[in-house]
Chains A and B, each alone.
Chain A
């Protein structure tokens, strides 16, 4: 019974996918004709069905950029980047859109290992990492079998060390996939959507005004209290602002 339900769901899903593909095509045609506003509507229509793809976010970001709506452009580029972190086009357009952001934030340099780690994690998508993990695990198992049943000592030695190497790769890619999935699901990053937002020292209107940020800036959400969110800027500054002034990536 459950299986049947699954099949039906799958069928529905595929038909929905076809409909989305048509919509995407339509949106692209509108974009080519410089009808950016209409294209935005069409792209958003796709996203309303709870389906997503990096292409839709990227094209939507482009359409927003062309209508000079830079915060939305940045938001959609960031969303595209979350799903497809290894796409060079997304990085390029995001960088151009970020030039329209008023705030010049001096990013904390961070430990180089952490930066390497993050760039390594971001070099592949979640699913690619998951696939790498599975494949290396399978090869590991094969080599383990070889180790156990090989007669010649040399062969066994090679099999052992290769298997060890592969199980490490498998574990690392698993953790990379886990990390990316975490970013994808938890939405801890957000983009400032209001033209100017005053960041407070505490989650209330009476809090001391700490600093002012402008639209398009990327922040990290670190805490939540009622309607207030604690955010952290790339330069390490922290403060509270209202939920509606930012939008989660």
Chain B
């Protein structure tokens, strides 16, 4: 698999894929075989300058195939050199060696040239180096010879061509630039600000003195670590080759909108300059130099910051590209035990400025302010890393609770849109804690008022509705009125009927009365005749006979069996009042008394007759 032999370049499509694969395998194969073959050279040279092109291989190789170097004059080479090192760490020995091939070339003409990869054979396999791009600029006559390859080591022979040492350094030869990777950004989007010091090749720099950093007002800043020792690289700027050192790298996060001006960066450089022109013998060996302070100031820069489009309510303030993860430290707890929900935001952007996302905890939970832990690194790609929020809360009551999924809204400056990342919902199972159970003191239970959390209308009515035509009601219908009329009519009817019945029953009593009187008169008919004829003895006898006959008829007892006790007992039994019975008995007594001793009887015959008729009438009414 990891073999790669690049031999022929066939048709284009396959070739592209192959190149891709090969590129992948180069890395892989190199790793696997630990063979590294690299080409090194300067980035920029002036026309006519000599420069070094070197190939380094960490194995012993053979058959070095050079790329096309027709744009350059090959002055010398290859010079091979070899170095090896042994390392012993914890008893483990590692050996590394490197073989290098060096060529000295000279640039022929201006332009940008790409040197194709070289190839070399190691143990029968062919390895390729990287390719290299070299920019050739117009030669600068005065400086041309000035120590092209040797960096800033000045060569004694070329000193006469150095600029006049006036104590100042021209702006072309020494300046500072503050470069921003973008100047039109959204609020909160990160900008990389790099402060570079440009020194012309022939200006020897001794050091720095005062550095005044820009205040970066209106920005939240984060420094990118740069090596303390400024390392210089060659770079072409405005068609000239400079030694360029990076002094400072900062990530800026604009905190306000509009045009923000960045203050210039000021630095005082110590530059070595030759003093005077001495023609002494030793001049060539002991030059007199002095150190000159040169203050350089960068140009001010302006950044245009756009405001974010209308922010959603739950916008976290994050600008960049992020991911959100969240986890509960435990899902089964006892009540009154603390639970931690940890939310982690990964990505690059203004991580430090993110507000903790709001989490919706069940109402009974006791919650605390989230704890924020930041782990960020600032590098050339910007500020990246992670920030985590730990929410500590304590469920006070048992039950199954769900913490709804947490949303994290951030602004993506590359799409200029808000994006949302969310976690899953968390389920927390809370069991009754032991401290709940041993509440032996009943009084210790604390009562809580039902908290009104929100106000809303009551829910719709789900019951079966009774529909009726609009504006209709039972009141006012025919049925309503007729109920009154009908019930009133019924009442009237019942009333009339009842009245009549009462009257009729009253008549019945009258009839009975009449009949009773009739019976009494019939019984006393004989007595009445005797009364008229004033025959006392016969009168009393007929009254007694009539009374006994009447009682015998009424009580259905034969006259022979009838006596006073029996008659009165029977009469009482049939509902006759005691008083009436007593009256009857008195009447019978009086009658018999008067019959045998008429003179002793105080009353008249007429009285006797009337009271006998009256008693019989009462009987006739009362007897049942």
CA distance A96 to B459 in the complex (A): 13
CA distance A136 to B466 in the complex (A): 25
| Residues from 35 to 92 in A contacting B, C-beta threshold 8 Å | 46, 50-56, 58-59, 62-63, 65, 89, 92
How many interface residues does chain A have, given as a range?
A: 35 or more
Chain A residues within 8 Å of B502, by CB:
149
How many interface residues does chain B have, given as a range?
A: 20 to 34
Is the C-beta of B23 less than 8 angstroms from some C-beta in chain A? no
Chain A residues within 8 Å of B458, by CB:
62, 89, 92-93
Is the C-beta of B282 less than 8 angstroms from some C-beta in chain A? no
Contact B467 A51 (CB under 8 A): yes
Q: What are 11 inter-chain pairs, A to B, with CB distance below 8 A?
A: A21-B465, A28-B460, A52-B468, A52-B470, A62-B457, A130-B475, A145-B491, A145-B494, A148-B495, A177-B473, A180-B475
Q: A65-B457, A180-B473 are in contact. List 6 more A-B contacts (CB 8 A).
A: A62-B459, A129-B475, A148-B498, A149-B502, A181-B475, A185-B471
CA distance A67 to B390 in the complex (A): 38
Contact A141 B487 (CB under 8 A): yes
Which residue of chain B has the shortest Cβ distance to A144 in the bound complex?
A: B491
**Beta-carbon contacts of B482-496 to A below 8 Å, as 1s and 0s?**
011001101100110
CA distance A127 to B475 in the complex (A): 6
Is the C-beta of A137 less than 8 angstroms from some C-beta in chain B? yes
Is the C-beta of B84 less than 8 angstroms from some C-beta in chain A? no
Which residue of chain B has the shortest Cβ distance to A51 in the bound complex?
A: B467
Is the C-beta of B463 less than 8 angstroms from some C-beta in chain A? yes
CA distance A137 to B466 in the complex (A): 27
Contact A130 B474 (CB under 8 A): yes
| Residues from 23 to 47 in B contacting A, C-beta threshold 8 Å | none
Contact of B471 among A20, A59, A141, A184 (CB under 8 A): A184
Contact B494 A127 (CB under 8 A): no
Q: How far is the CB of B530 from chain A (nearest CB, A)?
A: 44
Chain B residues within 8 Å of A197, by CB:
none
Residue of B462, B473, B475 with most chain A CB atoms under a 10 A cut-off: B475
Q: How far is the CB of B477 from chain A (nearest CB, A)?
A: 9
Contact of B487 among A56, A89, A92, A137 (CB under 8 A): A137
| Residues from 192 to 247 in A contacting B, C-beta threshold 8 Å | none
| Residues from 423 to 475 in B contacting A, C-beta threshold 8 Å | 455-471, 473-475
Interface secondary structure of A, over-half rule: helix
Chain A residues within 8 Å of B280, by CB:
none
CA distance A59 to B480 in the complex (A): 30
CA distance A141 to B456 in the complex (A): 50
Contact B461 A126 (CB under 8 A): no
Interface secondary structure of B, over-half rule: loop
Q: How far is the CB of B203 from chain A (nearest CB, A)?
A: 73
Interface residue ranges, A against B (CB under 8 Å): 13, 16-17, 20-21, 24, 28, 31, 46, 50-56, 58-59, 62-63, 65, 89, 92-93, 96-97, 126-127, 129-131, 134, 137-138, 141, 144-145, 148-149, 177-178, 180-181, 184-185
Contact B473 A24 (CB under 8 A): no
Q: How far is the CB of A113 from chain B (nearest CB, A)?
A: 24
Contact B463 A149 (CB under 8 A): no
Chain A residues within 8 Å of B462, by CB:
28
Contact of A134 among B469, B473, B484 (CB under 8 A): B484
Contact A55 B475 (CB under 8 A): no
Is the C-beta of B476 less than 8 angstroms from some C-beta in chain A? yes
CA distance A126 to B471 in the complex (A): 11
Q: How far is the CB of B156 from chain A (nearest CB, A)?
A: 88
Contact B473 A181 (CB under 8 A): yes
**Known contacts A126-B473, A134-B484, A184-B473; A31/B460 CB under 8 A:** yes
Which residue of chain B has the shortest Cβ distance to A181 in the bound complex?
A: B475
Contact A21 B467 (CB under 8 A): yes
Contact of A59 among B461, B469, B490 (CB under 8 A): B461
CA distance A184 to B484 in the complex (A): 23
Which residue of chain A has the shortest Cβ distance to B463 in the bound complex?
A: A55
Q: How far is the CB of A215 from chain B (nearest CB, A)?
A: 18
Q: How far is the CB of A247 from chain B (nearest CB, A)?
A: 15
Contact of B469 among A51, A62, A181 (CB under 8 A): A51
CA distance A21 to B458 in the complex (A): 21
Contact of B480 among A53, A130, A180 (CB under 8 A): A130
Contact B473 A21 (CB under 8 A): no
Which residue of chain B has the shortest Cβ distance to A73 in the bound complex?
A: B457
| Residues from 575 to 606 in B contacting A, C-beta threshold 8 Å | none
Which residue of chain B has the shortest Cβ distance to A149 in the bound complex?
A: B498
CA distance A130 to B491 in the complex (A): 20
Contact of B465 among A50, A56, A89 (CB under 8 A): A56
Q: How far is the CB of B475 from chain A (nearest CB, A)?
A: 4
Residue of B457, B466, B480, B484 with most chain A CB atoms under a 10 A cut-off: B457
Chain A residues within 8 Å of B455, by CB:
96
Contact B471 A58 (CB under 8 A): no
CA distance A20 to B470 in the complex (A): 14
